Structure 1
Amino acid sequence: MKAKKLTALLLCMSMLAPSFSGCSEKGTGEATEPSATTGNEAEQTVPGADTEAAEEERLVCSVPGDLDMGGASVRFLHFADQQTFNINVEEMTGELLNDAVLSSNQRVMDDLNCVFVHNENGGIEPTTLTTSFKAGDDIIEIVYGTQWKVAPIVSQHIFANLNAKEDVYIDYEKPWWYLNYIHEAQTDNDHTYFLAGDASPDVFRRSSMMILNTDLLTDIGRDVNDIYETVLNGDWTFDVLSEIVRGVHIDSNGDGTANVGDTFGFASWTRSDVDHFMIDCGVRGCSRDEEGVPYITFNNDITVKFVETLVDFLWNNEGSYYVEGIPTFEMMENNQVLFLCEKFSRLDMIRDVQTDFTIVPVPKLDNTIETYGSLTHDDAVILCIPVVSVNAKTSTAVLEKLGYYYYYDVMPEYYDVILKNKYRRDSSDAASQIIDLIHDSMTTDFAYIYNYGMSNMMLSLRDLIGVAKSTDFASSYKKSEKVYNKVFEKLLNSIREGD
């Protein structure tokens, strides 16, 4: 797709919806105007089942059917840990997700006549990339990079600007690409270095939600259906959450102090929960001008109110327990906590717990915020192509094919079979609708993506709220404002100097 068409699509998306495009269900791919509580959805008619009817309903992949890479190797660089969605699958195991990934990868290789070569490097993507770039070594075609590691080094012009490439095969109109993430990662309408979509399922798996302990909810005399109704009506706000949490603090161990042996309405083990509450509540570090260029707008009324709200929730609500390193999943299993702020990827760690739980979104700041949010955490895996690669065009063909097959064959296994049925303990329609709502509320922000190149501006609230317990955001921001502006301009100008 030509750069002008991409620019038009991204501008349209940025005006219509704050969440990612892409959809929880497989559909026609035709653009539809988003509703007040979801992103740019496409109507699903076929859930990706492996049937002749399903195949007939599939969209046409834009990669030419006669494209032949002549048996060439496609070298991937990626990081894998126990929570990362592993695309390097070597054999069938009978496990649904594993086998779907292997099958999809093989179909891409068969379609394009290429061979995947996987290089897992233990989390040192930037070192490998900068070393090969400086040496001019063409050793990697496609990077599956951890966001917080690869985003700051884009200013070194290590990655290819896809807007500057002619006739790339990425079809941004297709629902397997998350246009709003791509837009937020841009420095203007002419520079696209990072992609996000179903070709990297970790973008969704690293997004935020809240785990609700339905056993404990029943014990305190509340009905989960009332909470579902509140969520689906758009009324799930911090005031509502705080009221529920405030009524849950039991001195379970009888020692007269609030500690890990007690029962709480909410518990948090990590300061990074602040990130998710912040973005999901509508706080943004940047806005954009008519040319798509971001500028800092962090110091505003929404940020101020958010800081006041979260400080009150964490430190003045007797039902909240916020201590780094506490075993929150163990507390959940022991029926000691009602709500946790979490990421979908971490559900793998509690799939066998006996406690029944369900999933709800992070609440809105208040009813002036139109949509729910689900921040993709900065450890998500995003896609890029090294600038030294001579195979950028065919690499985009591989990514487009991966997006196509993962959209139809991999994500339904994770989303519909595993997430909605294997992990979830509530089979009601309302619980299923809420997972759809969270998926379609995925969001991020330019300043969050590039935080580590912006003097940690977006993480400053971790210390202000989680350590200082202060509501004085304005004074805190003013102390660092000049530094933020200086490093921001340097980062922005450096990235935009690239081709």
Structure 2
Amino acid sequence: MKRILSLLIAIAMLVVAVSLVACGNDPETTTTKKPDVTTSSSKGDSTTSTDNDGTTASSGTTDGNGTTASTDNTTEPGGSGDDLSGKTKHPDFMDVNFNGREFVFAIQKKGDWDEYPIAPEATGEDNIITEASINRTKTVESLYNCKIKEIQCDDNATGYSLISTDIQTGKHTIDFAEYQYSLGRANADLVNFAKLDIDLTHDWFDQSFIDTYNVNDDGVNRIFQLSGPWNLISYDASWMLYFNMTVYEALLAAGKTNVDLYQTVKDGKWTIDVMLGMMDATKNDVNGDQKMNYDDGDVFGLTTYGNGYMNNAIWFGIGGRGAIRDTATNKIVAVSKDTVDVAALSAAIDKASKLVNNEGFTAINSIDKARGSFTNGQTLFASECLAAASLVDDENANFSCVPFPKYNEEQESYYTMVCNRAYALAASAAISDLDNIASFIEVFAFHSQKLLYPEYVNYYKTQVFCDDGAGEMLDIVFKGRVWDMDYLGNMGITAAVAGYISTGKNMFSKAIASKSAATNGKLDDYRANVKKVAGK
């Protein structure tokens, strides 16, 4: 499909690098690559192109934070050819000394979407992620003469509410908060990171997140939240496509498919058509009653929990978006006939609909049954968030992951939806020593990049998937993560498309004008609020 989705990401790093001049040091030099998606005020405009965040790896692959998988197959955000281990100070921060200052994080604890610990204590039974978190935190404390403390919160007393209490009472007890369902939050209780002496173009900050939430259409940067390699739960919120390796190997052995799945992905040839062919080869009416029924033991090509998330993930995977940055106005705007090829998007929706209206697909309304399908041999592919994979307790589980398929081979990149369970970091406006906060955020992010994130990927690779190929697939999945304000703000376009995919009744071309107007109204309100909070 020609120029499918002339949408997003085309100038992501160009926008970030130019717009963040006021945020800190000079942007790092990067190399640009031809995009899949073009953001412009008209479909025919030429644009400058970049990869997902404009960063380029000297070897290996990059993720959505500009992170790099080194050639020794160890995944590290930001491994841009330097030899920094994270065990010593970053050379730009050799003089940083916090003189014993304690930095306090308020983190969420509310069940299966608990924030990862910031300052955990060793128990002797910790997994490798917790061990890495302990190592990261103790390293930062030792190198920079500080203490790091966490306060665990729930819905009754969120980190944001504790910050508000500090502001109202003239106290300062909390420095940072991360909380669910708070993406894009901006109010007078929070710090505008763009005003601090922080180089926000560093690759230890998620550039795609910054580009999505930076309100800077008038040239003034306003960034009230950050994400990066310390924010592991945002990676957990990546919506995944799993495959059962036992089922897959049986298909190969029976000659029902000749698709080398990992290699097909790496060759850029993993498309919806290839996936449909593998689904058809897998489906099996086991009891011969001419009805495909999961509870009867029939085998499917694709399963998911029946909550609609997968339809959104398919949409993003084929390059779809609900909101993009318009290069003419530098605003995040709804997709419309002025910014995308509507006919191309509509055709992509039709093809995506074939996946979920295939006899080899079923949505399972029990989350436990849906997650059980990852490993019980009743499906080839299954879809859920990354966090769900870590909850599989079958010691004989034999499954791995691939990115969601492209629309066709002409689409240059794979894309991954960040679902609405993701968090982001905010800082309290009650803080008076903002220079210390700026330096701390930089060093905390850098050492998280070097000491924590690689072990997070290693955990999934060795203890969840138990397959070397999964590490490469996770690199590709994370490289293409998409933060979409229409979806994450529940503004309407993405939800409507999910319905078109599910029902097979594609109204995109007819409805896009009204849907875009509604989303743009919400985006205008958001920008106005952020500017008001920021004093301009």
Shorter-chain TM-score range: 0.7 to 0.9
Aligned pair 1:82/2:82, yes or no?
Answer: no
Q: Deviations over 1:208-230 (max 9, x none)?
A: 33111121123333568622222
CA distance in 1, matches of 2:92, 2:54: 21
Report the CA distance between 1:150 and its aligned residue: 3.8
Q: Does residue 186 in structure 1 map to residue 225 in structure 2?
A: no
Which protein is richer in helix relative to its size? 1
* Matching of residues 154-169 of structure 1 within 5 Å: 154=186, 156-165=187-196, 168=197
- Structure 2 partner of 1:418: 459
1:102 equivalenced with 2:134 (yes/no):
yes
Which is further off, 335-344 or 317-326?
Answer: 317-326
Decide which moves more: 297-306 or 370-379.
Answer: 297-306
Q: Determine the structure 2 residue equivalent to 1:240.
A: 274
Pair 64,6 (structure 1): closer, same or farther in 2 beyond 3 Å: closer
Of 495, 514, 518, 1:459 maps to 495
Kindly tell me: are residues 473 and 173 of structure 1, through their superposed partners in 2, closer, same or farther at Cα, counting changes over 3 Å? Answer: closer
Q: 1:348: how far off?
A: 0.8
Listed one character per residue, the Cα deviations across residues 138-190 of structure 1 (whole Å, up to 9, x for unaligned) are 332112233x3242x32x3442222223xx2x344543222222112212251
Aligned equivalents of 2:499, 2:168: Cα separation in 1: 36
Deviation at 1:60, TM superposition (A): 5.5
Name the structure 2 match of 1:274.
Answer: 311
Show the 5 A alignment for 1:15-26.
Answer: 15-20=48-53
The letter of the residue matching 1:240 is V
With over 3 angstroms needed to count, the CA separation of the structure-2 counterparts of 1:134 and 1:249, relative to structure 1, is farther
State the number of aligned residues.
474
Deviation at 1:431, TM superposition (A): 4.9
**Which residue identity does 1:488 align to in structure 2?**
L
Does the CA-based 8 Å contact 1:246-1:320 persist in structure 2?
A: no
Contact 2:240 2:386 in 1 (8 A): yes
Distance 2:206 2:229 in 1: 8
> d(CA) in 1 for partners of 2:363 and 2:461?
29
Which moved further from structure 2: 131-140 or 438-447? 131-140
Q: Do the aligned partners of residues 330 and 44 (structure 1) sit closer, same or farther apart at CA in structure 2, a change above 3 Å counting?
A: closer
**Which whole-Å CA distance do the structure 2 matches of 1:305 and 1:378 have between them?**
26
1:87-124 CA-partner distances (Å, limit 9, x unpaired): 24122425322122112112222333332232222244
In structure 1, the residue matched to 2:43 is none
Which of the residues 330, 334, 358 maps onto 1:296? 334
| Residues 1:230 and 2:230 are matched in the alignment | no
Render the CA deviation track for 1:277-325: whole Å, top value 9, x for unaligned.
222221122232256322222563344233322322212x111112443
Separation in structure 2 between the aligned mates of residue 107 and residue 60 of structure 1, nearest angstrom: 9
User: Counterpart in 2 of 1:67?
Assistant: 96
Task: Confirm or deny: 8 A CA contact 2:27 2:202 kept in the other structure.
Answer: no
Task: Name the CA shift for 1:35/1:100 in 2 (closer, same or farther; >3 Å).
Answer: closer
Aligned pair 1:437/2:476, yes or no?
Answer: yes
Letter in 2 for 1:433: E
Contact in 1 for aligned 2:190/2:427 (Cα 8 Å): yes
Deviations 1:40-82 (A, max 9, x none): 5557377599xxx976797962663343333333221221343
What is the distance in 2 between the residues matched to 1:181 and 1:337? 34
The counterpart of 1:338, out of the listed 350, 370, 380, is 380
Provide the aligned C-alpha RMSD in A.
3.5
The residue that corresponds to 1:372 in the other structure is 414
- Distance in 1, matches of 2:440 and 2:61, equals 35
Q: How does 1:40-59 map to 2 (within 5 A)?
A: 40=66, 42=68, 44=70, 47=74
SS of residue paired to 1:349: coil
> Are the aligned partners of 2:97 and 2:144 in contact in 1 as well (CA < 8 Å)?
yes
Give the structure-2-normalised TM-score.
Answer: 0.77
Do the aligned residues in 2 keep the contact of 1:207 with 1:375 (CA within 8 Å)?
yes
- Kept after mapping to 1: 8 A contact 2:373/2:382: no
Amino acid aligned to 2:133: V
Tell me the equivalent position of 1:27.
none
CA contact (8 A) 2:177 2:426 kept: yes
State the Cα deviation string for residues 390-445 of structure 1 (Å, max 9, x = none): 24332232222222222222222222x32222222433xx5543332223222323
Match of 1:28 in 2: none
Structure 1 CA distance for aligned equivalents of residues 407 and 415 of structure 2 = 10
**Percent identity between the two aligned chains:** 16
SS in 2 for 1:408: helix
CA–CA separation in structure 2 for the residues paired with 1:7 and 1:308: 44
Letter in 2 for 1:286: I
Whole-angstrom distance in 1 between the partners of 2:462 and 2:258: 18
Q: Which moved more, 1:333-342 or 1:64-73?
A: 64-73
- Does structure 1 residue 3 correspond to structure 2 residue 31? no
Q: How does 1:109-148 map to 2 (within 5 A)?
A: 109-123=141-155, 124-130=158-164, 132-133=166-167, 137-146=171-180, 148=181
Code of the residue aligned with 2:416 in structure 1: it is S
1:478 positional shift: 4.3
The answer as to whether partners of 1:209 and 1:362 remain within 8 angstroms in 2 is yes
How far the C-alpha of 1:458 sits from its partner, in A, is 3.0
Name the aligned partner's letter for residue 97 of structure 2.
D
Uncovered stretches (5+) of structure 2, i.e. residues with no partner = 1-19, 33-38, 40-47, 77-81
Separation in structure 2 between the aligned mates of residue 242 and residue 10 of structure 1, nearest angstrom: 41
The 3 A distance-change label for structure 1 pair 337 and 353 is farther
